[in-house]
Structure 1
Amino acid sequence: MAIRDKLSGNEAVAVAMKQINPDVVAAFPITPSTEIPQYFSTFVANGEVETEFVPVESEHSAMSACISAAAAGARTMTATSANGLALMWEMLYIAASCKTPVVLTVVNRALSGPINIHNDHSDTMGSRDSGWLQFYGENNQEAYDNLIMALKVAEHPEVSLPAMNCYDGFITSHAIENIELLEDEKVKAFVGDYNPEQFLLNSKNPVAVGPLSMPTHYFEQKRQQAESMRKAKDVIIEVSKEFEALTGRKYDLFESYKLDDAELAIVVIGSTAGTAKYVVDQLRNQGVKAGLLKIRIFRPFPAEEMAEALKDIKVVAVLDKCDGFSGKGAPVFNEIRSALYDYETKPKMVNYVYGLGGRDVRTNDIEKVYNDLLAILESGKVEDPYRYLGVVEE
């Protein structure tokens, strides 16, 4: 029987961590993720978990401690945001290349400067090629569920890669919503015990973690790391199906919302999907064939599956809460357009950078995007594919 509660996204994630009872959590506070280690340290102090909680002097130290603990065979977790993730940058690559399945909750926040504590996706989009799995949640329920599934995927012997559980700062992290929690014993049974095949404290099978690698071996090691990322896609699907059987909540690589017969569609990540779904419903009532694709898994990128879902739609807008500064579109847009390149039928596409630094995104903003798509559908032309939504132009 599911446990019904009202929790913020951060508290929901901390509760999931408590239910998992990891061996080590090393963390340093930064807004808006601070509440996660704060709540969890309370669980430690109250004796509700057996976790070794390591308060450190910086986020770089936090990830360093997590890598060391995971390399020693410990189930390991932490949390951060924005500048904290940036301070971990060196260690993100080391965690991935050492194949240590650390689970890091990233509460998405704009990456300075100027200094801004509100939400966009510049932090995790900047780290998208560091070798980490990336799960994105729309709401508090997904933040809780994704953490549990991300751990099981990361620790799978075919994967053994670190994973980020990402959701929107303040919008999801601090807002309180109704949520269904699993019972503690069901969470523990679902994730199982962590029994790595190789770890530093295994005296029967000595290994080295992170040694110097010369040109004779480095390339092959990177190739093996990339293959683990490819294998992760099938593991994510498998684990999501197991989770659905347990909870009744269906997850996939992405969510298709009224896409089957859509002529117009938006691709989006995170909490904005809820606003966009409302607009889709309103447009459907007016006879407009609108749809939405919400990305849940960004790494590994499900290119083939998303291309199949979008190839017959006539016009698609990709919304990026991060600017790529390439002059030719932002990260999600370029990934989606690349995925569709080899298809004979493909939609006309336009990119909108939106919501930077926590700029509000309202229903009328989403309506504007769909109206723009209607204009493209009627004219058959995309005059300017690189656009901004909600910025004050002077």
Structure 2
Amino acid sequence: MLKQTEGSHAMAEAIALCRPEVICAYPITPQTHIVEGLGEMVKSGELKDCEFINVESEFAALSGAIGASAAGVRTYTATASQGLLFMAEAVYNAAGLGLPIVMTIGNRAIGAPINIWNDHTDSMSMRDAGWIQIFAETNQEAVDLHIQAFRLAEELSMPVMVCVDGFILTHAYERVDVPTQEQVDAYLPRFEPQQVLDPRDPVSIGAMVGPDAFMEVRYLAHQRQMRALELIPALSQEFKKVFGRESGGLIKTYRCEDAKTIVVALGSVMGTIKDVIDEMREQGNSIGAVSICSFRPFPSEELHDVLAHAKRMVVLEKSLAVGIGGIVSHNLRMALSGISLHAYTVVAGLGGRAITKSSLHDLFDKALKDELEPLTFLDLNQEVVDRELEREAQQRRSGPTAENVLRQIGTVGATLR
């Protein structure tokens, strides 16, 4: 049913239609509205046969989800930013145990300095923990990907993160087609766990594994991710048959057929990128874009095929690996073995900084002329950075950097000494 609604509320409705039996929740901006919505549905009886567990921390949220999933029920939780870091040990445990938990990440910057706005640093910090990571471009896709995530998690017996841009998607009101219970039931089978909690037949969970078998267990987790490279597009096609729209998959291309310059990105920024590409196409420029929906497993072959005939690649990413540069671009370079092209990494939107059409026009114009540096920081205020570096060189005093930068731009009313 089409409705004008907040992204978080639409996601909560879709998750409820998947019939979770345990929801473990701890509020952290910007995912709070999702679990609030689910809590209201459990309390009102709209979501039946579900236990909503209020916990004391993010670590407890995922730990509770691990226990529930291991006991044999369909389980869901959500978090963001520092909350994901706080549950890091449990993130690895859930993947290592092969538990089909679905978790929404309301993508948000990681401090310090404190920042509640959107970038992808939180999800990227857990990219190698063993979870499948799928990124939504729109709120419609966020709804659809949650339904696919439960199916994917349970067929592979491994956890799935559905990554949605905080505020940009979670708090945006727009028209979304929320499916019916009959549609979801037709697509998502009843949960049939490998084992259930039975006091008459006790089993151990999370046993110690020594050097003689540890590598094999980890290799099996890798093999499941490789299977996901086939299963994700298959489930996306099956979803299209049931729901009448295409959503998800490994990658999505936009005007790439004859493109000599291809922009690669993840998440909601693709909407702005597509608008700029349309305008540049009208000016006669051969440019296209690729949106990565599945970041883990990484779709190396699909990206290799799309980029094989391009002259240049611009990777726009909302995260930074301090000391080396781009995270997405590093993965792409491994995928592009045997392809010779100009590759540019552009770090943009950190801490929620706006990525505007005018900035993208300037950026892509420079890329077409091969005038970009290998690593570029979009709209970086170099003057502020230079002044802080000069101050540090003159005074050689250690201490917090953020406050000095804020004073320079006038956010903090104090004299820089």
TM-score, normalization by structure 2:
0.89
Task: Judge conservation of contact 2:20–2:76 (CA < 8 Å) in 1.
Answer: yes
Q: How does 1:243-392 map to 2 (within 5 A)?
A: 243-251=239-247, 252-327=249-324, 329-341=325-337, 343=338, 345-376=339-370, 384-392=373-381
State the shift of 1:203 in Å: 5.4
CA–CA separation in structure 2 for the residues paired with 1:169 and 1:135: 15
Task: Judge conservation of contact 1:109–1:121 (CA < 8 Å) in 2.
Answer: yes
State the shift of 1:200 in Å: 4.0
Question: Deviations 1:138-172 (Å, cap 9, x if unpaired)?
Answer: 1110110010001100100xx11100011111111
CA–CA separation in structure 2 for the residues paired with 1:37 and 1:55: 10
Whether 1:188 and 2:188 are equivalent positions in the alignment is no
2:63 maps to 64
Question: Deviations 1:262-304 (Å, cap 9, x if unpaired)?
Answer: 0111101111100000001111111111100011010000011
Task: Judge conservation of contact 1:29–1:37 (CA < 8 Å) in 2.
Answer: yes
Amino acid of the structure 1 residue aligned with 2:121: S
CA–CA separation in structure 1 for the residues paired with 2:268 and 2:340: 27
Task: Judge conservation of contact 2:263–2:289 (CA < 8 Å) in 1.
Answer: yes
Q: How does 1:1-394 map to 2 (within 5 A)?
A: 3-49=1-47, 50-156=49-155, 159-201=156-198, 207-251=203-247, 252-327=249-324, 329-341=325-337, 343=338, 345-376=339-370, 384-394=373-383
CA–CA separation in structure 1 for the residues paired with 2:198 and 2:278: 55
SS at match of 2:119: coil
CA RMSD, aligned part only?
1.3
State the shift of 1:255 in Å: 0.6
Question: Deviations 1:220-259 (Å, cap 9, x if unpaired)?
Answer: 1111111111111111111101001112222321110000
CA–CA separation in structure 2 for the residues paired with 1:217 and 1:113: 39
CA–CA separation in structure 1 for the residues paired with 2:203 and 2:278: 56
State the shift of 1:383 in Å: 6.7
State the shift of 1:25 in Å: 0.2
CA–CA separation in structure 1 for the residues paired with 2:312 and 2:226: 29
Task: Judge conservation of contact 1:12–1:144 (CA < 8 Å) in 2.
Answer: yes
CA–CA separation in structure 2 for the residues paired with 1:279 and 1:316: 16
Question: Deviations 1:111-135 (Å, cap 9, x if unpaired)?
Answer: 1110100000000001100000001
2:390 maps to none
Which structure has the larger Rg over C-alpha atoms? 2
CA–CA separation in structure 2 for the residues paired with 1:332 and 1:358: 18
Amino acid of the structure 1 residue aligned with 2:221: Q
Q: Could you tell me which runs of 5 or more consecutive residues in structure 2 were left unpaired when the two chains were aligned.
A: 384-417
CA–CA separation in structure 2 for the residues paired with 1:256 and 1:245: 21
State the shift of 1:384 in Å: 2.6
Task: Judge conservation of contact 2:344–2:372 (CA < 8 Å) in 1.
Answer: no
SS at match of 1:298: strand
**Distance 1:219-1:48 versus aligned 2 partners, 3 A rule:** same
Task: Judge conservation of contact 1:310–1:346 (CA < 8 Å) in 2.
Answer: no
State the shift of 1:369 in Å: 2.0
CA–CA separation in structure 2 for the residues paired with 1:304 and 1:32: 34
CA–CA separation in structure 2 for the residues paired with 1:189 and 1:67: 27
Task: Judge conservation of contact 2:183–2:243 (CA < 8 Å) in 1.
Answer: no
Amino acid of the structure 1 residue aligned with 2:349: G
Amino acid of the structure 2 residue aligned with 1:299: R
State the shift of 1:373 in Å: 1.3
SS at match of 1:266: strand
2:409 maps to none
SS at match of 1:224: helix
Q: Would you identify which runs of 4 or more consecutive aligned residues in structure 1 move more than 4 Å?
A: none
Amino acid of the structure 2 residue aligned with 1:148: I
SS at match of 1:271: helix
Q: Could you tell me which runs of 5 or more consecutive residues in structure 1 were left unpaired when the two chains were aligned.
A: 377-381
State the shift of 1:207 in Å: 3.8
Task: Judge conservation of contact 1:200–1:208 (CA < 8 Å) in 2.
Answer: no
State the shift of 1:9 in Å: 1.5
State the shift of 1:192 in Å: 1.1
Task: Judge conservation of contact 1:32–1:107 (CA < 8 Å) in 2.
Answer: yes
CA–CA separation in structure 2 for the residues paired with 1:246 and 1:347: 40
SS at match of 1:349: strand
CA–CA separation in structure 2 for the residues paired with 1:187 and 1:214: 42
Task: Judge conservation of contact 1:199–1:207 (CA < 8 Å) in 2.
Answer: no
CA–CA separation in structure 2 for the residues paired with 1:89 and 1:58: 12
